[in-house]
Structure 1
Amino acid sequence: MATPNKAFVAPAANDALVAADKAHYLHGYHVFDEHAEQGALNIVEGEGAYIYDTDGNRFLDAVGGMWCTNIGLGREEMALAIADQVRQLAYSNPFSDMANNVAIELCAKLASLAPGDLDHVFLTTGGSTAVDTAYRLIQYYQNCRGKPQKKHVIARYNAYHGSTCLTMSIGNKAADRVPEFDYAHELIHHVSNPNPYRAPDDMDAAEFLDFLVAEFEDKILSLGADNVAAFFAEPIMGSGGVIIPPKDYFLRMWQVCQTYDILFVADEVVTSFGRLGKFFASEALFGVQPDIITTAKGLTSAYLPLGACIFSARIWKVIAEPGKGRCFTHGFTYSGHPVCCTAALKNIEIIERENLLAHVDEVGGYLEQRLQTLAGLPLVGEVRCMKLMACVEFVADKRSKALFADQVNIGERIHRRAQAKGLLVRPIMHLNVMSPPLIITRQQVDEIVETLRQCIVETAEELRQEGVHVGA
């Protein structure tokens, strides 16, 4: 069972909170029937890699919130920096001819950390608005350079790029495409997910890579190269299942973009600020110089909401051409919010001062090694891990890679068992995804792996008792 701690809400007050939650709170990805029956896990305290519920139970948060609590929760120096900024300047208009010192300082810092000539920054309120901004910036750029027809964008199936109407349409994760919502289609197109585990059986690794690149080029030519503006890609697909692409995949996709004058947008909302041991992963780990990087999450380690769209001097030179009298009519009330920017600067300072990138290289390698010990267990089809991004994919049959029926709810079953043992992993259909804080220790890695091992073994036995086929 979860470990009791000082965090505690009296039963009567807790009952009132549960009732109010069910009566009034529409959650993100709200599962109506399930929530009406079970309610939500109400969290009241956080410290480091641990969070605590209203009953005082402690959980090791192997999800890192939502890929975002990078430096850990409850840091006093973050609280003090945020409070000091609130006292000095709690808000400043970010539009047109107004700015504030900390937003300027943050933009300069991001320009210094970003690869190549990515030295211009538009600050947003989170990852979705950063990707939305990238899309609008691309349209603006193409119009400014006299190519109004060059507006189509290409992304990948089973990607996740955000939850605005536009960004959900750029992403194409099957679990997100529900019939009750509508999606934009006219200018958005998709090519195959670069998932080696799900590659066609008759293709080896080299053939699969060739197929992916040829399919991308064919899509461009079918749309007309003069009509395609940009390619959107996560360096590692996060919510789509921690999909690590084949070696040289990004380099070859980037080369195709170069051939056809197509902007390369690296969605690093998850992969930036240390999750892969680098501030940004595209160039450092995959050898690609993007035209645009989107980021959020680890930018403030979730202490406050903030995102950024970082773009190249080449784009700036076109859109800011002197004498054109142009106005970039895009912005948010909370863009460049001074308190959020202060949180980001302090967060980056901590990452640098505590040498957390090197720590991620070390402990992330240990997580990769330890998680692979689960690969031989029943139910486990594949273990995927790169530094502090990890996923266990569950299958009904290891040989055929066949999935369980949806009603088995395999990812949720294992997640519920783990939660009862004081561990949080993220269930996504047939997956359990993990993205622990950068401060995680080897001991905590061992706790994650051994708890998950118990849950997988227990779930396999439970399924057998229910008469569900569990293949070898």
Structure 2
Amino acid sequence: MAAVRDLKVTEMAAPGGGDAIELGKRHLIQPWPYAGSVGAEARALIAEGDGIYITDNTGKRLIDGPAGMWCVNVGHRREELAKVMYDQAMALSYNTPWYTMNAPSAELAMRIAGHAPGDLSHVFYTTGGSSAVETALRFMQFYNNVRGRPEKKLILSRGGAYHGSTYLSASLNGRPRDRDWMDGADELVIKLSSPDPFRRPHGTSLAAFTDFLVDQFRDTVARVGADKIGAFVGEPVQASGGVVIPPDGYLKRIREICRDNDILYVSDEVVTGFGRLGHVFASGDVFGIDPDMITFAKGVTSGYFPLGGVIISERLLEELRRSNHPDAMFGHGLTYTSHPVGCAVALKNLDLLEEGVLAHAQAVAPYFQAQLKTLEDLPLVGEVRGAGLMACVECVADRESKDPLQLDKNVGKRIDAHCHELGLLVRPLINMCVMSPPLIITREQIDDMVGILREGISRTMDDLRKEGVWRG
């Protein structure tokens, strides 16, 4: 321990980052590790960021293709956000939310409610997306208990979904391998099919596929019983599932079934909220739905401070207030709920979005999608899909079978490694490359990003051919 205490900050920050890498191997547990390397690995060391770029420990400058983790929406090194963080910490660094409150959290709640669809009017703050989804589910349970419906607790989720890493939120996840070695509240969750048009049965029209999804949802409600189902949780766009864009009209039809059966519709906008699709919230402005709750995180502070939350319908709160159990307590809270620094940063971040970043994102999104779509002429690419400033390049063994596993489970990592050498950080997901850059990206920077990605995929194709893994 003495060696660690004696290590100077300047030594840790020295070019090359050798000390930090070694300390990481010795003391850090990385997210989503494998048992064979848990607590003994170091990942790419990032030294600094500026705009849409990050710089690694070797001095290589990279386009931040994933915007951190879908979150650095207004870009790195925004002095306005850093100054607000400092000023608020000097004024009030923390207050307990159990019996006090702070002004930034109240103002932010008002402004968030102003952007939310329908009657969503009240905000409960969390520390991130997982805790936001967890909060929404616990609120659903509390709501039904107070209303005398303790059996109405089952949750509908979908294949390909990702909703977090806490116990309840992770139980909803439907991506391959997420739950292979992890426990969950399986008795509470019913999984439905992913609304992925690319993976629909061969020969099935998009209209027929949409009808299948809706019929499956309706039939499940009828089979299980609406009196047993408390909520449906769905991302407007399945982000970590591969940027799956649902068929037109699908979400509206699911919303109607939920309304008809008194099932709470929770729209998980942890990724799509705060500008990723060009609006503060996509539920109403993009997809035309008014959920009972919306979860958010990530872009609310552009990743500068951990903050998330749930926006809740006024109708639900009014029903609780007029219930026969006025003393029933929603026994849920977090030490950092309504954190004053996080809320102050979010207010300034919202200013930046409203004052031009949202408009810019809407303006460049069509060009972003069109340029990425050109990658479909590469034989390894099965489909490029996306919306706003989020997209996925899905690689397949061949376009006939669309089978990624016959190809190479790590093809995304291979592409990312080549792109890293060329100046681009990619989000690899098995056979997919996800791109979600900061919203401030320009057309010229989009050209650079797509050019590097094309070269990274081309080099990967050459590697696979040489190894005899693929003959495309």
TM-score range, shorter chain: over 0.9
Summarize the Cα distance change of 1:445–1:34 in structure 2 as closer, same or farther, 3 Å threshold. Answer: farther
Indicate conservation of the 8 Å contact 1:229/1:262, yes or no: yes
| CA distance, structure 1, for counterparts of residue 374 and residue 149 of structure 2 | 53
3-state SS in 2 of match to 1:186: helix
Q: TM-score, normalised by structure 2?
A: 0.94
Indicate conservation of the 8 Å contact 1:378/1:456, yes or no: no
Counting only pairs closer than 5 Å after superposition, residues 429-444 of structure 1 correspond to structure 2 as 429-444=430-445
**Alignment match, 2:89:** 86
Q: Deviations over 1:254-274 (max 9, x none)?
A: 111122111111000000101
1:13 Cα deviation (Å)? 7.0
| CA distance, structure 2, for counterparts of residue 212 and residue 407 of structure 1 | 30
Pair 1:151-2:168 in alignment: no
Aligned-residue Cα RMSD (Å) equals 1.8
| CA distance, structure 2, for counterparts of residue 215 and residue 310 of structure 1 | 28
Indicate conservation of the 8 Å contact 2:243/2:390, yes or no: yes
Summarize the Cα distance change of 1:356–1:72 in structure 2 as closer, same or farther, 3 Å threshold. Answer: same
Task: Give the alignment partner of residue 42 of structure 1, picking from 45, 51, 65.
Answer: 45
Indicate conservation of the 8 Å contact 2:409/2:430, yes or no: no
| CA distance, structure 2, for counterparts of residue 230 and residue 14 of structure 1 | 47
Q: Deviations over 1:20-72 (max 9, x none)?
A: 11111001112455688973111121111111112211111010000000001
Q: Deviations over 1:93-139 (max 9, x none)?
A: 111x3111111111111111111110011011111101000000001
| CA distance, structure 1, for counterparts of residue 17 and residue 197 of structure 2 | 46
Query: Which amino acid is 1:302 matched to?
Result: G
Summarize the Cα distance change of 1:408–1:116 in structure 2 as closer, same or farther, 3 Å threshold. Answer: closer
Indicate conservation of the 8 Å contact 1:304/1:343, yes or no: yes
Indicate conservation of the 8 Å contact 1:62/1:423, yes or no: yes
Indicate conservation of the 8 Å contact 1:8/1:53, yes or no: no
3-state SS in 1 of match to 2:257: helix
Query: Which amino acid is 1:39 matched to?
Result: A
**Alignment match, 2:176:** 174
Task: Give the alignment partner of residue 70 of structure 1, picking from 46, 68, 73.
Answer: 73
1:470 Cα deviation (Å)? 3.2
**Alignment match, 2:7:** none
3-state SS in 2 of match to 1:194: coil
**Alignment match, 1:377:** 378
Pair 1:419-2:425 in alignment: no
**Alignment match, 2:59:** 56
Pair 1:235-2:236 in alignment: yes
Pair 1:301-2:302 in alignment: yes
Query: Which amino acid is 1:438 matched to?
Result: L
1:321 Cα deviation (Å)? 2.8
**Alignment match, 2:5:** none
Q: Deviations over 1:394-417 (max 9, x none)?
A: 001112212244755111100100
**Alignment match, 1:107:** 109
| CA distance, structure 2, for counterparts of residue 429 and residue 241 of structure 1 | 10
**Alignment match, 2:455:** 454
Indicate conservation of the 8 Å contact 1:70/1:301, yes or no: yes
| CA distance, structure 2, for counterparts of residue 456 and residue 352 of structure 1 | 36
Percent identity (aligned): 46
Is there any run of 5+ residues in structure 2 with no aligned partner, and where? 1-9
3-state SS in 2 of match to 1:393: strand
Is there any run of 5+ residues in structure 1 with no aligned partner, and where? 1-6
Indicate conservation of the 8 Å contact 2:159/2:174, yes or no: yes
3-state SS in 2 of match to 1:174: coil
**Alignment match, 1:261:** 262
| CA distance, structure 1, for counterparts of residue 407 and residue 169 of structure 2 | 26
Query: Which amino acid is 2:336 matched to?
Result: Y
More divergent stretch after superposition (295-304 vs 48-57): 48-57
Summarize the Cα distance change of 1:368–1:166 in structure 2 as closer, same or farther, 3 Å threshold. Answer: same
Counting only pairs closer than 5 Å after superposition, residues 144-293 of structure 1 correspond to structure 2 as 144-179=146-181, 181-293=182-294
3-state SS in 2 of match to 1:286: coil
Indicate conservation of the 8 Å contact 2:407/2:469, yes or no: no
Task: Give the alignment partner of residue 18 of structure 1, picking from 18, 21, 39.
Answer: 21
1:178 Cα deviation (Å)? 2.5
Indicate conservation of the 8 Å contact 1:125/1:306, yes or no: yes
Q: TM-score, normalised by structure 1?
A: 0.94
Q: Deviations over 1:396-442 (max 9, x none)?
A: 11122122447551111001000111101100101000111111111
Indicate conservation of the 8 Å contact 1:379/1:470, yes or no: no
| CA distance, structure 2, for counterparts of residue 386 and residue 399 of structure 1 | 25
**Alignment match, 1:28:** 31
Query: Which amino acid is 1:161 matched to?
Result: H
Pair 1:138-2:178 in alignment: no
Summarize the Cα distance change of 1:87–1:11 in structure 2 as closer, same or farther, 3 Å threshold. Answer: closer
Q: How many residues align?
A: 462
